[in-house]
Amino acid sequence: MKTNVGGIDKVVRIVAGIALLSLFFLLEGGMKYLGLIGIVPIATALIGWCPLYTVLGINTCPLKK
């Protein structure tokens, strides 16, 4: 796995993941489980690799010289 998630992208993913996870605690009924989707952006930010970016050929990491 080659790193393809850059710094700013990681911050955005973590913020979005936390926002989605908060829905788990704020919503009631079956809809609250949609908040668990927030685990995915947090995990990809921590790992630094996004499988969807690999499929689409996207790389937000700065070039290394």
What does the pLDDT profile of the chain (65 residues) look like in tens digits? 899 999 999 999 999 999 999 999 999 999 999 999 999 999 999 999 999 999 999 999 987 65
At how many degrees (to 10) do helices 7-26 and 39-47 cross?
A: 150
R_g of the chain, CA atoms, integer Å: 14
pTM for the structure as a whole: 0.88
User: Please, which residues have CB within 8 angstroms of residue 56's CB and are 6 or more apart in sequence?
Assistant: none
**Residue 23's CB: how many other CB atoms inside 10 A?**
16
pLDDT on residue 1 = 83
Q: Where are the domains of the chain?
A: 7-50
Nearest of 45, 47, 39 to residue 20 by alpha carbon: 39
